[in-house]
Amino acid sequence: MPVGTGLELGFVRKKKQATKNNKQSFHRIVSYQKKSESFFGYIHSLNSHMSNHHHQTPPLDTPLGPTGGQRLYSLDALRGFDMFWIMGAEEIVHQMAKVTGSPFWEGFANQLTHPDWNGFHFYDLIFPLFLFMAGVATPYSIGRELEKGKNKQQLLIRVIRRGLVLVLLGIVYNNGLELRPIAEIRFGSVLGRIGLAYMFANIIYLYTTQRGQIIWFWSLLFGYWFLLMFNSAPGYPMGDLTMEGNFASYLDRLILPGKLYLGIHDPEGLISAIPAIGTGLLGIYAGNLLKNSPLTMRRKALQLLVMGVAFLLLSWIWNLVFPFNKNLWSSSFVLHVGGWSLILLATFYYIIDVQGYKRWAFFFSIIGMNSILIYMSEGFINWSYTTKAVFQWLGQLVGDPVNIVVMTICYVLLKWAFLYFMYKKDVFLRV
């Protein structure tokens, strides 16, 4: 999403900028000058020059950060780390559990599944963490445009268009490029949820102060709680939170056209997008803290960490009366995933931006820079077929039962190699 231009969708070739420095023993590992915001509106850059020396010198601990407060190297890495699990890494863990029968791997694999209804596994964090990071990027994108004196009306139009395009991409991802009767189309989607929540969170950001954003955050969470606590589907007791009886799913059945993912319920339904706006607003608050706070970088990381722990404590209390539920995006769930998101952001920010250790994150950054491309590719590229065609010989050499683990690792590495090729060619898919 380029700053100062309209919405664009397509492949972009960036101009390469080669740099030479004869006075220093540095070699170019990464040079990624982002002139556009990617999937979630990121306009920060990844432009790290790694030293040949073993020692890494951390950047100065200034309030604005290593590049004047306009870049967050850690955000690309965290986004790539998040995407890593849904591009096949979770399947590696599941296959390890099958092959070894180890309690460790089985427990790990269980965390990489979704609970049937109430409860929380770490796999539930992947989706809201993406949305949280979209919010973190907002002060660096929309906020910077406001600082330049950009008209709010123009920014509003851009935000709305981006949100609606994500909704459209979600419909394409769910249903493919195929003409179907309306009744057979699923309109709810992951990208649609992100698009709507991003759009409304950014509208709130545009027209309110930070105090107003905090009020909106808590109002959305409590308002959604009251909506579900004092209503239900016909024939069910007030406050019923089952799949059949909860009021959010009932309203989705009335409002949403087409089909719902589970027939009577859609985890990416319209009503549960209301508290998801809060997830985006929490990310915006974190982004504001990192970009605009006069605190030193270490103090910012510490404040994010403390906030994360506080949110976890509050979420466990709220869980007693309004259970963690990703399907409903319950208010306690918002606080819980928000807490973990803050902790992860604090950790990545401290290690990468504060301490300056960037090299280890290159693997994840390659994924994070082209996350929309690899996500959408699932609908157009048969990665399993390609992996088998390229690496079947390796699986045969390894033999049963380990070959299934090896082939799954190859599946992930093949995707990464594709993204690395795109990176080397300076080709990125942007919205």
Q: How far apart are CA 354 and CA 292, in angstroms?
A: 16
Percent of the chain whose pLDDT exceeds 70? 84
Q: What pLDDT shows up at residue 191? A: 92
Mean pLDDT of the chain: 84
Q: What pLDDT shows up at residue 431? A: 72
Quickly state the pLDDT bin for 426 (edges 50, 70, 90).
confident
Q: What pLDDT shows up at residue 34? A: 37
Specify whether the CB–CB gap between 324 and 337 falls below 8 A: no
Instruction: Name the range with the highest mean pLDDT among 32-41, 62-71, 319-328.
Output: 319-328
Which value, in Å, is the radius of gyration of the alpha carbons in the chain? Answer: 22
**Which residues contact residue 183 at a Cβ distance below 8 angstroms, ignoring those fewer than 6 apart?**
258, 259
Which is more confidently placed, 261 or 50? 261
The amino acid sitting at 394 is L
**How many CA atoms lie less than 13 Å away from 407 in the CB half-sphere?**
23
| Residue 203 within a domain | yes
Residue 380 pLDDT greater than 90, yes or no = no
| Residue 311 within a domain | yes
Quickly state the pLDDT bin for 110 (edges 50, 70, 90).
very high
Residue 281 pLDDT greater than 90, yes or no = yes
**Which residues contact residue 24 at a Cβ distance below 8 angstroms, ignoring those fewer than 6 apart?**
none
Q: What's the sign of the alpha-carbon dihedral 413, 421, 71, 124?
A: negative
Prediction pTM value: 0.81
| Residue 245 within a domain | yes
Quickly state the pLDDT bin for 290 (edges 50, 70, 90).
very high
| Residue 429 within a domain | no
What is the domain count for the chain? 1
Of the candidates 331, 328, 337, the one whose C-alpha atom is nearest the C-alpha of residue 118 is 328
For residue 26, the cross-strand partners are: 51
Q: What pLDDT shows up at residue 70? A: 55
Across the range 183-205, mean pLDDT stands at: 94
Q: Which two tokens stand for residue 386?
A: 């390609």
First to last CA, the chain: 5
Residue 378 pLDDT greater than 60, yes or no = yes
Of the candidates 30, 62, 32, 63, the one whose C-alpha atom is nearest the C-alpha of residue 45 is 32
Of the candidates 262, 258, 230, 263, the one whose C-alpha atom is nearest the C-alpha of residue 246 is 230
Instruction: Tell me the residue range of the domain where 188 lies.
Output: 73-84+113-374
Across the range 388-408, mean pLDDT stands at: 89
Q: What pLDDT shows up at residue 237? A: 95
Percent of the chain whose pLDDT exceeds 90? 67
Q: What pLDDT shows up at residue 71? A: 62
Which is more confidently placed, 37 or 192? 192
Quickly state the pLDDT bin for 427 (edges 50, 70, 90).
confident
| Residue 334 within a domain | yes
Place of tokens 């991802």: 173
| Residue 120 within a domain | yes
Q: Three-state DSSP class for 179?
A: coil
| Residue 207 within a domain | yes
DSSP 46: B
| Residue 383 within a domain | no
Quickly state the pLDDT bin for 25 (edges 50, 70, 90).
very low
Of the candidates 151, 82, 65, the one whose C-alpha atom is nearest the C-alpha of residue 364 is 82
Q: How far apart are CA 139 and CA 266, in angstroms?
A: 31
Tens of pLDDT along 122-169? 999 999 999 999 999 999 999 999 998 889 999 999 999 999 999 999
Quickly state the pLDDT bin for 85 (edges 50, 70, 90).
very high
For residue 419, the cross-strand partners are: none
